[in-house]
Every structure is written in C-alpha cells, then in structure tokens.
Amino acid sequence: MQKRTLGQGLEVSALSLGAMGYGKARELPDRDDMIKLLRTAVERGMDFFDTAEAYGPFTNEVMVGEALQPLRDQVKIATKFGWDIDPDTGVNSGAVNSKPDHIRRAVEGSLRRLKTDHIDLLYQHRVDPDVPMEDVAGVVKDLIAQGKVRWFGLSEAGAKSIRRAHAVQPVAALQSEYSLWTREPENEILPTLEELGIGLVPFSPLGKGFLTGKIDVGTSFDTSDMRNSVPRFAPEAREANRKLIELIARIGDRHGATPAQVALAWLLARKPGIVPLFGTRKLERFEENVGALKVHLTQDDLEEIEGSSIEIKGARYPEEHMKRVGI
C-alpha cells in the first residue's frame, strides 16, 4: 500500500481505517468478524487505525487492542481524549473535559485497553473552551517525553486553536470532516495546516455513506442511526444532493471506478499530506475503498468537479453539535 507523511515525520499508509462502528456501546454479534477485518487490513498493507475512548465508551479500544496486539509492531494506532468520561464507570456526561489530570487518566486507560505501552497519535477529540490550549499541549508534550505518546493531534479544532497548540507541542495531524460535500476546511483550515506543516486526516470522506451513491430519498435508517438527526440527510436535502452523486458517477464511469472510489481519489489528489479515514464493517467495502489508490483523476476530472458549482443542502451536524467544532 502507498505511504504518506503527515506532520512531524509521521509516515502512515495512504488510507486509514476507522474502527468507530466496531464494538461501540454494545458487543456486536459480528465482533469476531471485526477483529478479523482489522487484521486483514494489516495483511493488505494498511498500518494506520483510529479509535477513541468515547467509542463505547471504552469497548472500541478494547476491541482494537485485542485485534492489533499481535501485530503491534506493524501498525500505528490513533486514539482520542477530551470528553468527560468517568474512568471507572465509563459514563459520558456529554461535556468536554481536557483538564490536565483528566487527560493523564484518560491516556492511562487507553494504554491499558489497547494493550500497548504507547499511543502513536493522540488526538484531543474536541477543543475544551475552559482549558487553555497551551495547557492541553503541555500535558501531551510531557506524555511524549515519557514515551507514552509519540505524536500529537487535534480533532475539529479551529485555526487559532491549532496555532496555539502547535506553538507548545508541534501537531502532526488534524482530524476533521472534509470531503466532496464538506469543503469548509478549504477556507482557513487547509492553508493553516499547509503553513505549519501539519497533515490532515479527513473523517467521513464518503459523507457518512452518501457519496457511495447507495443512499437516496427512499433510504431508511435504523432508529439508532445518528443520520436520522443530521440535516443533510433530511429527505429534501438528499434529493437535492443527488446532483453530486450524478457528477462523481459520471467521472467514475470514465475510470471504471465507483462513486466511493472517486470521492476518495479526489481527496488523495488534493494534497500529499492528506490521509482519508474511512470506516466499514465489510471486507468487500474495505477492498473497494482501497481500490481508490489506483484511481488517478485527470486535470479535466478535477476541473469538472470544481466547475460544477453544486451547492450542498443541509448542515453536516445538528445545531448543538456544530457548536463544538471549529473553536
């Protein structure tokens, strides 16, 4: 598999697998299949995997730890802190918490669950407006000096927070939503990252499934599916946003590629320091997504996308969630 370099010399596979949906909140009946998929991904050459203490909480890190412990020297594991989660009960209050002592306790818990002595990339999951970013970065700097963490990352942080953190402890990567239907990072975030030499790990590169082309106005989601509350997935928004699917499907036809592969190939073509992070629980979808590495969009393809002027309808999060990003 191709390699890419994020900030601070962090070299990883050109695509990353997010394990968020594996063992989250409950023990899934296909848990063994999820562990097998993670290990198969390593066999295919992927070495960059993403989890967080909040996924569950805790059950996701436990699963990832079990899956990757036998392969630990072949992989880089990213996890996250930053929510107010009780370290004993796993109860998440829903508030952010990046107080220094809380970060240290969170990291000790993550190390234990991941069955490892170090975390390769440690992200602050969301900016805590009540804790100075300098204090957060300072704690991570100490953890790096202790050998418990190797690289520092931020998630959904705004440009000012990125600069403040980077001045204390150089940031290797920002994880934020970026895709063909979420392009706001181009306004301020991408120029900031390029200036500071920080990589981008875009999550939801397939628009929470929409950019696969398999979701239309008639698609229904399970009652527990968060997309039921996302404005962008309201029926009228889905109908309007199908124009984007039609565009990338046309481009895909020229390359013998699926819409999902075009969406990932577009991200890969944006900047060399971008490593898309996708999630799937099916091997065939994993193989389809990895196939995007063989799709090379032409300049004409890229210009067609830029010239389409398709306006995406609907916010990417409910209003309450949007208050937690970009600060």
Tell me, rounded to whole angstroms, the distance of Cα 207 from its chain centroid. 12
**What token pair was written down for 71?**
């392969």
Closest of 256, 232, 253 to residue 311, by C-alpha:
232
Tell me the backbone φ, ψ of residue 312, rounded to 5 degrees.
-80, 130
Contact 159, 189 (CB under 8 A): yes
- Active-site residue flag, 178: no
Which ranges in the chain belong to alpha helices (H)?
31-43, 59-68, 100-113, 133-145, 159-168, 189-196, 235-255, 259-270, 283-290, 299-306, 319-322
**What token pair was written down for 309?**
């002027």
**Dist CA 55 CA 86 (whole Å):** 13
Neighbours of 154 (CB within 10 A): 28
**Dist CA 313 CA 239 (whole Å):** 9
Contact 189, 174 (CB under 8 A): yes
Per DSSP bridges, beta strands 48-50 and 277-278 are unpaired
Neighbours of 24 (CB within 10 A): 18
Q: Which member of 22, 55, 123, 178 is catalytic?
A: 55
Active-site amino acid positions = 55
